[in-house]
Amino acid sequence: MNKIISCKNLKKSFFIKNKTLNVLNDISFDIEKGETTSIVGESGSGKSTIANIIAGLLKPTSGNVFFENSSIFNNTSVDKASFDKASFNRTKIFRKNIQMIFQDPYLSLNPKMRILEIILEPLKIHEKFSKEKLLKLADEILEKVNLSVFIKNRFPHQLSGGQKQRVAIARAIILNPKFIILDEPLSSLDVSIGAGIINLLTDLQKNLDLTYLFISHDLKVIKYISDYVSVIYMGKFLEKAPTKKLFSNPLHPYTQALIDSSFTFRNNQTKILLNNETPSLLDPPKGCLFSTRCPFAKKICFDARPDLKEIEKDHFVACHLVKTALTSLGSSKTTSSSL
């Protein structure tokens, strides 16, 4: 497969009142070209922090992000003058190829700019086109996101929420990027409007050969749009797997609980109910980060933090209680010792 994004050992910490807030803990994953990789988790789990680091809006405390095998945060140079020029050129190429669609279209669009200005702003930075060419491109991009060309002279407040998000999508794709980060793009929209946006994103991915990183807490949307899913909790991945495998055979109790909260049934299994509230990142559990909420936790869960291990092909889990048992046929069957 062709990796377009590769995140290696990402850590992000903030310092608050002489305490360390570890928002991300050793996050590593790859995103294949043409696919949709999703990250799911509760609010405050670190999803948006990963998105902002990949977008270059935040620098990791340690670790690195590679776009098409080139480091995004490689800031080494012989002298300041050459560094500034090389850094600027590298950043400009990176910005053109990686775009981000934010959670709230009400806040992501400049209220003082007309829709035409908003859509064309990236082109004016990265390209040198005539006025006629720019106007033609604006009409074409509005058509691609199913918006009327007659909204060009309107301001954002004159549009509906769905129209604003389509404008944000138009602005993101007008540079013909290779990779788009979607950070909770449906959370502020009605269900029916959100369904239209999902269908639009699916069509654009197919027609423009786009790759997506989709950030959400909505597992129903994740299941529909994703090729690969990573489950994050308190800044650490607890489970990673292809979408069909994750939803048909969730192994981590946290993943099972998330699915149980979103779907009516899970293979006729008893629903998992979580204990307590999520601990503070300023005072995380010593062992497994999920141990204080897990209904199956044992002594080892409170004493040692489990590593993310490949339990079966392309299915990774960080849980002491999950193991692989060989069947009599010699095939691999994944089970949990407590479930």
3-state SS, 44-104, equals CCCHHHHHHHHCCCCCCCEEEEEECCEECCCCCCCCHHHHHHHHHHHHHHHHHHEEEECCC
Compute the CA torsion angle 215, 217, 219, 225 (nearest 10 deg): -20
Tokens 């204080």 -> residue = 292
Instruction: Give me the pLDDT at residue 82, please.
Output: 52
CA–CA separation, 160 vs 164, rounded Å?
6
CATH 3.40.47.10 fits 3-226, yes or no: no
- pTM comes to 0.88
Is 103 a residue whose pLDDT tops 90?
no
Q: List 231's β-bridge partners, or say none.
A: 40, 239
CA–CA separation, 245 vs 15, rounded Å?
38
Candidates 12, 33, 8, 7; CA nearest to 22 is: 12
Share of the chain above pLDDT 90, in %: 68
Higher pLDDT, 281 or 265: 281
Candidates 40, 53, 46, 187; CA nearest to 107 is: 187
Mean per-residue pLDDT over the chain, rounded? 87
Domain range list for the chain: 3-226, 249-336
pLDDT tens figures, 209-253: 999 999 998 899 999 999 999 999 999 999 999 999 999 999 999
Candidates 241, 248, 207; CA nearest to 226 is: 241
Is 266 a residue whose pLDDT tops 90?
no
